[in-house]
Each structure stands twice: as C-alpha cells, then as structure tokens.
Chain A
Amino acid sequence: MRKLLFQGLVRSPLTEPRPFADDAELIALATKLDSAARRRLGRSLSIREVDAGSCNGCELEIHALNNAFYDLERFGLKFVASPRHADVLFVTGPVTKNMREALERTYRAMPSPKWVVAVGDCALDGGMFAGSYAVMGGVSTVLPVDLHIKGCPPRPQALLAGLLALIEARRANINQHTAQVDP
C-alpha cells in the first residue's frame, strides 16, 4: 500500500481542466441565480441524487464525476446522503409512477433555496419510455425543473458543465437578472 501511495505523490495528477458550458440553456440558467443566493451558498453546492426509474446509465456517469479525471469536489460540489443537506436535486429517469411519491417527498425534504436538475433524455420528457402506462414522462411533470442536461446518458463532461453553470454566472457574457428563485 505504501508503494501505491508513494506513486500517487510522484505521478502527475490525472485531473483534467474544467469544461465550460456552451449551451444557451445553461447560460440562461446561470442568470437565474441571483447574487443573494450565491452569497448564501458561496461556491459550494450539495447535491442529492434521486433515480426516478432510470436504466442506471445516468447513475454510472454521475458516479464517474467522483473519479480522479473529473474530481467533482475540487469545485466545492459534493453529493450528500440526505435531501435535508442538499441545495440541488439531481433527478434521472422518466419518473415512474411507482417513484413519483418518493421523488416528491425527497424534494419537499430539501431546504430552500433549492434547484432541480433533470439529468438525461428520459428526464426531459420520458425519452423512449414516453407514453407508457407506468411513467409520468419527465421530471417537469412532477417538479419545477431549473436545468436539463441532455444525453443518453450525458457524458461526465456535460454533467460537470451543467453543475458549474449552476454555481457561477459567466459575468463577462451575461447580464444579471433579478432573482427567479423562490425563497
């Protein structure tokens, strides 16, 4: 174990530079976050993830955010175990009817201000499962969605870009708007 730890000291880190959002949707979202909310939260966000019936593909890529290449925590972003500790709710899947109540209760357990990020193509509108008797058809049918990250599943880079858009407005390009976020 000592050898392995030592190698970690002398080898250069695998961590890669941060991605930037080029998606108009992401940039628009950043403007929704008023400076007051940002002051309160600083640059740090706690994220609670709920699988609302995904195929598990999105979860695999969300997991990847914690590996050495993406190293989510360097940005002050971390996944938390309880919705009561969370600022952001990450929701994957088309929202199955069997998961609807659990999802709503998780959202209600979060303190305000809070944001909902729908992750993956199913979470937008049900994706390939739209129209099934067993799904609601997208997160926005159940919760107010602030940001959607596309992909089946989204690449870790896309997830990271979306999250970073949440914590920082790109001031050079964006006019600050008034707060849209419910207290």
Chain B
Amino acid sequence: MQSIPTLADIIGAGRKVANHGPCPRAEVDANVWQRVTGQLAASQWTLSGLWGDAAAVHMALLDEPAAEMIVVSLACPDGRFPSVAQQHPPAIRLERTIRDLFGLEPENAPDPRPWLDHGRWGVRHPLGTKTMDVEAEPYTFLSAEGESLHQIAVGPVHAGIIEPGHFRFHANGEAVVRLEARFGYAHKGVEALMRGADLEHAAKLAGRVCGDSTVAYTVAFARAAEAALGVDVPSRAHWLRALMAELERLANHLGDIGAICNDASFALMQAHCAVLRERVLRAADLCFGHRLMRDCVVPGGVALNLKDDSIPVLRELLAEIGRRFPALVELYDNTASLQDRTVATGILKPELAQQYGASGYVGRASGRSFDARRALAYPPYDQLAFEVPVLHEGDVNARVWIRIHEVKQSMMLIEQILGGLPNGTLRATIPSGAGEGLAIIEGFRGDVLAWLRLDVDGRVARCHLRDPSWFQWPLLEAAIEGNIVADFPLCNKSFNCAYSGCDL
C-alpha cells in the first residue's frame, strides 16, 4: 500500500474485538504489526503503550492530530513477537518488561538485558510460565569508551529522601558523557496482584502505584473500568474528580518548583513553595478527608461528596496562593544566580520529545503540546476553559515555567469547578460483567494510560497501568549529556519522573 494508512485502516486489516471501549481494538497478524511499527518509526503515530498478556502483546497507538486511539494485539502462540523497539527505540524498556514478566521474546530486540527482574524474585516470568528462578546474572551497563573517562555509580539508596533507582554515569572530568538508569527496585508485582481482584480492591491497588499521582491513577483506572462496562458516570462525580485532579496537580507543581530551586541551592523558594504545597494538602484533607485524596475516586464515580462548607476552604486556598505565588514567580525570574543554573541546562530536543511521545511538562517544555484534557477532552474538561502552555526551549527553566503556567491554569480550573459544580448523585451502579476498557487521563506528570479486561464475574483478568515516565526517563539520559555531573540533580528534579509508577 502506497498511501499512508489511518488507524481505521489498521483496525480494518485485523479482526475487531467486541466489547472494547471507548476506542476499537483489533487482533492483527505479524505483517500488520510490523507495518504499524514502521509507521511509528516514521513518526506517523505515537506509541502510547506496549504491554504483555497471556500469549499476546498489545500496543496502544495515538494519532495526535486526529485525537484518535486504537489498540492492536498480536497473538504469540510460540512465545515470540516482532520487536517494535528494533525500529522504534521508545519501546525498548517496555519490551524488556514484557520479557521479564511474561517470558514473551521480542525478536531482534536491540537490548537483550532484563529490566524489572533483578533475579531476586525466586520466579521467572511471574505473569507467564512462572518458571523457577535461576541465579541472577550480573547486569552490564552500556559502555562509553575514550580517554580519561570514569564511572560514577549512584543509588539505589540516595542521599535525599527519594525513591530507589540506580544511575550510572560515565564522566569526563565534570562533563557527563553517558548516563544510564537502572530501575525495578520498587517493583511490587502490582499487575500480578490485580489478577482476579474485584474492582474495589483493584482500584485501591491502582491508587497505590504512584503516591504523588494517586488521583490520576484512580481516575484512569475508574475510566477504563467504566469504558469496559459501559457505565455512565454522574456529572457531579466527573466534576469532583477534576477538582481532585487539579488539586493534585497544584500540590505537585508547587512542590516541584520549590524543589528544583532547592537543587540549585536556592532554599528560599523551597521554603515558600513548601508552605503553599502544605496549604493545598490541608485543604484537600479538609474537603476529602485525606491529604493526597487516596481512595476518593472509585469505579462508577467518587467515594465521597464535597460538602458545601468545603467550598469556602478551597476559595480561601486559591486566594492565599493568589496572594503569595506572584512574588515567588518574580523571585524566580529575577534571581540571576538561579537563572544561571536553570537556563540552557539539560536541554531536551523537541524531536526527541515528539518521537517518545513525552507528555506533561517534559513534553510541553519541548514543543509537544499534547494534553489529554484538551486532546481527548474527557468530561468535565470539555466544558471548562483552560490553556495548554507550550514552550520550545526544552531546558530546566522551560520545565519550571510550564509548571508556573499550569499552577495558574489549575487555579482557574478549580475556580470554574467551584462555580459550576452540578448537583446530583456521586456514583453509578457498576454492573457485573465482562468487557475491555482503555483510558488516558492527564496526571500532573503527563498522561496515564490504564487498560483492563474484566472477566464475566466482573473481576480483573488483566490490568496494565502505564506511567507517563516510561517515555520521559530515557529522555533524561539524552538531556543530561554534556552537562556537568553537579547539574544532574537539577535536571532530574525538573523531569521529576516516577520510579514506583514505572516499576509497578
């Protein structure tokens, strides 16, 4: 075929699966799978997810201009599938994960090393054939060759209070020649625990994949379940979910802005931003009974109502941030010694952000405007006015500014939500039954994908949760190249990728 295929052509070339919502899923053969891979490599579509199943692999594709998504699946009866990463590098770690968890072998994959499996589980391929473990093989980091290079090994236990991960630097004096991350330390086996769980329990697990995005994950999980079962969520629940999601974004962005400055040794910003973050968490606690709003979003709606006397609490929160934040932005912008650290540091090229489908502030600071709230316009964002800030510099400074703009946008969104919050019920009844659903929602860090298949009893047969950081972590390695080692914490914090979210 000479003409460029559309996503509908791909679905047409396969066997469409019934009961998959809201977008179609098709089982395709290896030829179509490879054609899709070719289109990904040609930047026709964005790879939004790639995950394993019992003797099959699934791939979620996003057509950004058309705002359409599909899922294509390839059966792997002999335990092998043609590697996507061979032509499209963003798939590398996803394929290594599929191999570790399911034992499905990506043919001609560029990287044969394990990813999550450190040889310590006592079992190999825990979601697949479950063979007994053999002795752990030593892990070989990618090399860098040249005169006077040295290695710096950092982690998994770090100097600060952060999540576990290992970073291996090759440096020439102060300059980073190569950075390679190794993760999996926080792997808890969430996808195995999901199997056979009822929806209530599974939703709680989803809310514990990534602590700072607990609202985002529970919304993504709930929307996938609702899509699978064709549930109509009451509009008040949609609005309350958005309220929680924006509070989560606000808290995290405020915390990040301070923490990035702190990593440039400018503690004053950290002190003031941490106060504002604390105020958001306290308001969330007063309104929803939990500082991080954990377990407040449930399949079918929300678990609890926003009382009328909570609305003044939130208005006062907005007023307080409105009073304090502009002076902090001014301080950030007018402190030359701080700007000296953040401007032109850790530049992520727009081409890479596009190739990897980087979302959130990482993508939007490097010219990729995708925001699931806008592009996919899930409720209630289809009824709310907001702007999606985009910058093109791609440096630490741009990632700070995207957050500053988004703080203002989230405040405006909360204002609108408080003004227009519809009355009505909080939760729809969830019917028991089989089905498959996909959801993509915008967390503070970027788009979170949830896919699940329910069996006839309404229990989870398979659930996959894809954190935005899968497509951001590899870009940190590119952005740090040529920067000095001392700027790594600054660059890392400006990305603020999830560890537990990716380790699952």
Contact = CB atoms under 8 A, between A and B. Distances in A.
Contacts of A135: 188-189
A133 B161 contact: no
Interface string B240-284: 000000000000000100000000000010011011011001000
A135 B161 CA distance: 21
A99 B164 CA distance: 8
A125 interface: no
Contact of A132 (B188, B210, B277, B328): B188
Interface residues of A, number: 51
A4 B274 CA distance: 15
Name, among A82, A99, A129, the residue most crowded by chain B CB atoms within 10 Å (CB to CB). Answer: A99
B193 interface: yes
A69 interface: yes
Contacts of A69: 275, 278
A59 interface: yes
Contacts of A140: none
Given A51-B162, A67-B278, A79-B161, A98 B187 contact: yes
A129 B63 CA distance: 36
Contacts of A162: none
Interface in A29-68: 49-64, 66-68
Given A54-B211, A55-B211, A97 B164 contact: no
B164 A102 contact: yes
Interface in B111-143: 116, 118, 120-123, 126
A66 B189 contact: no
Contacts of A5: 268
Contacts of B209: 55
A86 to B, nearest CB: 12
Interface of B: 116, 118, 120-123, 126, 156-157, 159-164, 184-190, 192-193, 204-205, 208-212, 214, 255, 268, 271-272, 274-275, 277-278, 281, 291-292, 294, 327-328, 331, 334-335, 498-501, 503
Interface of A: 1, 3-5, 14, 49-64, 66-69, 79, 81-83, 93-94, 96-103, 106, 127-129, 131-135, 152-153, 155
